[in-house]
Homo-oligomer: A and B are copies of this chain.
């Protein structure tokens, strides 16, 4: 583990702060992010919520655990891992996040981040100041609704995740979740590159690295997919779905 920066100033690792407001209306992931189904007028209002856009390199942190809550971050491009280190020194991965997804939701009630967010590849994010977001949500019922929808969905995903039992089930569900999310973003649902290591997948699914490796090998033997290092090609989505749902 890289030592954590002791100063608790958020986003200090941003390389490049865009000087120009890039309004949400022009954002490529608008229809996956909060502003889903908004009118052009509303989109202009939403821009006031976007406090700042930041660009990060691979392995840079967006925020560290326990830093004071500086707002939610909407991922615009790239990929992010939220994680924490437990008492035994092992990494626990809370989740992997793709463009259009919101991170920092768990910090709303405690006012400090509950995990650290690190970029798995070069990544752009929009910081949404929480107070501005609440104000905007008051004026724009659609925004309020959408924010609650996002949180409700995250909750449902977590509850699903909690009840996956076998290792094969978890790995299959994980791959299908990524596949689905890539498809929504206009990428191939059957052929994609994992932005994370086997180790990180294991830390997300509560499985040993070796187990992830073995299961991918096994799926490959069963002709369900081809896994060539980080590249995944799904050959039998239906069979994987069957495994995922048990």
Contacts and interface: CB of A to CB of B under 8 A. Distances in A.
Given A94-B159, A144-B134, A152 B86 contact: no
A65 to B, nearest CB: 12
Contacts of A94: 159
Interface in A80-128: 86-88, 92, 94-95, 105-110, 114-115
A156 B109 contact: yes
A189 to B, nearest CB: 22
A135 to B, nearest CB: 8
Given A159-B158, A162-B158, A153 B87 contact: no
Contacts of A107: 152
Contact of A92 (B88, B95, B150, B163): B163
A95 B110 CA distance: 21
A246 B87 contact: yes
Interface of A: 86-88, 92, 94-95, 105-110, 114-115, 134, 137-138, 141, 144-145, 147-156, 158-159, 161-163, 165, 206, 245-246
